[in-house]
């Protein structure tokens, strides 16, 4: 058997932790073997959640700490809680190369700041981005940035294209990554200056990683013509949350109609 | 009977005109009396569309012109078509006070430019905005700007609040207009500088027209807590089209599922 992938898990992150975190691991374990979990957090609570779970006790270790980042902490306040929070320790474990990946469902702002303090950026990439999967008619889009960077310049947007295409390629190795900039029109002349300049840059940029497909409008995000969609964090967040609100609205109206 | 409201109609605007325009008038006439329509466009085509319609022939006049703005015209090209297009003449009719309102389903960019050339802005309002109705759980939102102004300053956003609230008040006189700025978080510190400054401005601004409710996130546009939603034209357009795309996606997936 190959060397297992080691995943650091901030077991205390987010609502209903560590229960939901352990539930998630149980679910994931059913289909994915050869993974070792380092669980950072309150040992008593984690052990309680692990009881009666179908999780092989050789597949994890618990690293106890009393401290954890709270959801309502500002990013700065979270960093100031020091180096013994479950979030800090789990990230540090990647830095120390004792694990390959870190997962946290906790405070996003804190995760960004503490990760940036501990782990270096990839060379030539200036800003981290939040990305997500967003369904389209034939598969999945990668969309970024979803809210980490309110204002972005041309270099940032170009970086996001490369980062997004790389993520897409690693998740869907058999698909062609088709990158587009989220904009308010499909013609070259539409949009603000940063978007127009980025379009020009990308038109000249020959990447072996992706095909540049120009602009995509909000109503075509889910068409499937492109699968990596790039925006600054403000625009991406507005789009994501508006889609979420619209889906919730339709679902609840539908339920109302069907139940009379 | 009171003096009728006179509506100028650009009968040639948009796809399927003038047929769909005349269909619309027939529909509207069933419930709304004491309105007189000035129909600008190709007399032959308009008369053909009017045949067999239940429209009182005392309730309209046709002002013939051969010229009209095409959907694919740039705003500038449309203005250069001159003063005899159905769009120009219908707008000019409001300027000359021979009608009270102008309606066009034609080229939006052209409509903006030709309207701005002919009709003055309201005093102290710098930019026109595109607004639309957007359903929420308990009624309707007014949302603006939906794409006329890519970049807006604090003054523009504040103007849009007043314009949006005035429109809301005129459509729903019995409701309280609750204004919010579309943003990526509900806390005061979120968003770009223009939004944050506008928030500060509006917090100090006591308008008899509306209550200022702070920020609204994309997922809460349809909650009904606020009913006048303000954004720059870029953000508003992204939100509108993303909502449209999400609704279409859900509807088509649902149809697929229901028809097997």
How far, in Å, CA of B179 to CA of B96, rounded? 34
Q: Quote ipTM for the complex.
A: 0.88
Q: Where are the domains of chain A?
A: 5-118, 131-246
Determine the length of chain B: 260
Fold (CATH) for B5-118: Isopropylmalate Dehydrogenase (3.40.718)
pLDDT tens-digit readout, A95-110: 999 999 999 999 988 9
Confidence at residue A1, expressed as pLDDT on a 0 to 100 scale:
62
Average pLDDT over residues A224-250: 97
Number of neighbouring beta carbons within 10 Å of residue A30: 8
Q: Which of B147, B146, B47, B42 is nearest to A191 (CA)?
A: B147
**Strand order of the sheet with strand A60-64?**
A60-64, A35-41, A5-10, A101-104
Asked if A236 has any chain B CB less than 8 Å from its own CB, the reply is no
What sign for the dihedral angle of Cα B76, B81, B84, B85?
negative
B191 and A150 within 8 Å at the Cβ level: the answer is yes
Partners of residue B85 on adjacent β-strands: B67
User: Which residues does chain B have within 8 Å of residue A182's beta carbon, measured at their own beta carbons?
Assistant: 238
What pLDDT is recorded for position B31? 86
Whole-angstrom distance, CA of residue A73 vs CA of residue A34: 35
- B171 in A contact zone (CB under 8 Å): no
Note the pLDDT of residue B1: 62
| B234 touching chain A per CB within 8 A | yes
Q: For chain A, what is the mean pLDDT?
A: 94
Residue B238 near chain A (CB below 8 Å): yes
DSSP at B219: G
Report chain A residues whose CB lies below 8 A from the CB of B249.
135-137, 222
pLDDT the model gives residue B68 = 95
Residues of B in contact with A220 (CB under 8 A): 245
- What does the pLDDT profile of chain B (260 residues) look like in tens digits? 689 999 999 999 989 999 999 999 999 988 888 999 999 999 999 999 999 898 988 999 999 999 999 988 988 899 899 999 999 999 999 999 999 999 999 998 899 999 999 998 889 999 999 999 999 999 999 999 999 999 999 999 999 999 999 999 999 999 999 999 999 987 777 899 999 999 999 999 989 999 999 999 999 999 999 999 999 999 999 999 999 999 999 999 989 888 86
What is the pLDDT at residue B120? 84
Contact A248 B150 (CB under 8 A): no
DSSP, collapsed to helix, strand or coil, labels residue B101 as: strand
DSSP line for B44-67: HHHHHHHTT----TTSEEEEE-SB
Question: Does A250 contact chain B (CB < 8 Å)?
Answer: yes
- Could you say which architecture CATH assigns to the domain A131-246? 3-Layer(aba) Sandwich (3.40)
**Residue A19 · residue A49 · CB < 8 Å:** yes
**Which of A257, A18, A224, A49 shows the shortest CA–CA distance to A139?**
A224
Domains A5-118 and A131-246 in one fold: yes
The C-alpha atoms of residue B114 and residue B87 are separated, in whole angstroms, by 8
What is the structure's pLDDT at B189? Answer: 75
Question: CA A248, A250, A255 angle in degrees (round to 5)?
Answer: 95
pLDDT digits (tens, 9 = 90+) for A31-68: 888 999 999 999 999 999 999 898 988 999 999 999 99
B153 part of contact set with chain A, CB < 8 Å:
no
The residue-averaged pLDDT of A174-195 equals 91
**pLDDT of amino acid A17:** 93
What's the rounded mean pLDDT across residues A161-183?
97
B167 reaches A (C-beta below 8 A): no
Per-residue pLDDT at A188 exceeds 80: no
Q: Do residues B130 and B144 make contact, with C-beta atoms less than 8 angstroms apart?
A: yes
Nearest partner of A247 among B249, B94, B35, judged by Cα = B249
Cβ of B218 within 8 Å of Cβ of A238? The answer is yes
């Amino acid at each position: 058997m190959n060397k297992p992938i080691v995943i650091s898990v901030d077991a205390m992150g987010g609502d209903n932790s560590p229960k939901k975190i352990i539930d998630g691991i149980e679910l994931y374990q059913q289909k994915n073997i050869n993974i070792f979990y380092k669980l950072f957090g309150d040992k008593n609570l984690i052990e309680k959640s692990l009881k009666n779970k179908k999780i092989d006790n050789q597949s994890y270790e618990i690293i106890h700490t009393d401290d954890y980042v709270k959801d309502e902490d500002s990013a700065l306040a979270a960093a100031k809680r020091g180096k013994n929070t479950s979030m800090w320790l789990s990230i540090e474990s990647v830095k120390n190369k004792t694990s390959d990946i870190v997962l946290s469902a906790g405070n996003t702002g804190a995760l960004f700041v503490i990760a940036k303090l501990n782990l270096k950026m990839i060379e030539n990439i200036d800003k981290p981005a939040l990305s997500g999967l967003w369904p389209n008619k034939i598969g999945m889009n990668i969309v970024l940035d979803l809210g980490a960077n309110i204002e972005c310049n041309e270099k940032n947007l170009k970086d996001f294209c490369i980062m997004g295409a790389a993520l897409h390629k690693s998740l869907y190795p058999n698909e062609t990554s088709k990158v587009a900039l989220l904009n308010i029109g499909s013609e070259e002349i539409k949009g603000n200056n940063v978007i127009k300049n980025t379009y020009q840059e990308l038109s000249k940029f020959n990447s072996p990683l992706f095909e540049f497909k120009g602009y995509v409008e909000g109503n075509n995000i889910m068409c499937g013509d492109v699968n990596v969609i790039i925006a600054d964090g403000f625009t991406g967040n507005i789009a994501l949350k508006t889609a979420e609100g619209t889906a919730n609205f339709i679902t609840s109206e539908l339920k109302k109609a069907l139940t009379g």
